[in-house]
């Protein structure tokens, strides 16, 4: 017997109200959608990692999600996050390049930050391996 998967979360297409997220929750959700870790989100926004974790639990609950990945999926499906709007980060930079465009300054800055973060992570990994 095959069981159909259940769809959780709010649906704005069915006439239900879209959940109301605070600007900080939206910022955390967008950063998580762009691949940021709780630690980097906390550092960038000036919170502790535990505070970010609690925010994620709240916003996931508002969206009817089980975890942050599920929350991002539901937010895209509900129209809260626009998957085509990748701007000012590594993915936005890559999207410009993929379309054959010269990346905008915000995307260049996002790419530089991404490269700095990756370089620091590699150095930290090398120093712990040695």
Digit-coded pLDDT (tens) for 39-78: 999 999 999 999 999 999 999 999 999 999 999 888 888 8
Which pLDDT belongs to residue 91?
A: 72
Which pLDDT belongs to residue 76?
A: 82
Distance CA 44, CA 1 (A): 48
Which pLDDT belongs to residue 101?
A: 79
Distance CA 25, CA 111 (A): 24
Q: Distance of CA 32 to CAs 37, 97, 105, 123, Å?
A: 7, 22, 22, 24
Digit-coded pLDDT (tens) for 74-130: 888 887 877 666 677 777 777 777 677 788 888 888 889 989 998 999 999 888 877
């Amino acid at each position: 017997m095959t069981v159909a998967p259940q769809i959780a979360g709010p649906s704005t297409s069915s006439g239900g109200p879209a959940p109301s997220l605070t600007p900080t929750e939206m910022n955390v959700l967008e950063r998580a959608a762009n691949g940021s870790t709780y630690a980097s989100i906390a550092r960038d926004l000036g919170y502790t990692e535990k505070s970010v974790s609690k925010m994620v639990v709240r916003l996931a609950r508002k969206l009817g999600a089980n975890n942050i990945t599920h929350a991002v999926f539901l937010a895209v499906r509900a129209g809260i996050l626009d998957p085509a709007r990748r701007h000012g980060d590594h993915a936005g930079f890559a999207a410009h390049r993929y379309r054959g465009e010269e990346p905008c300054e915000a995307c260049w800055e996002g790419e530089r930050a991404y490269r700095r973060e990756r370089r620091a992570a590699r150095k930290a990994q090398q120093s712990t391996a040695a």
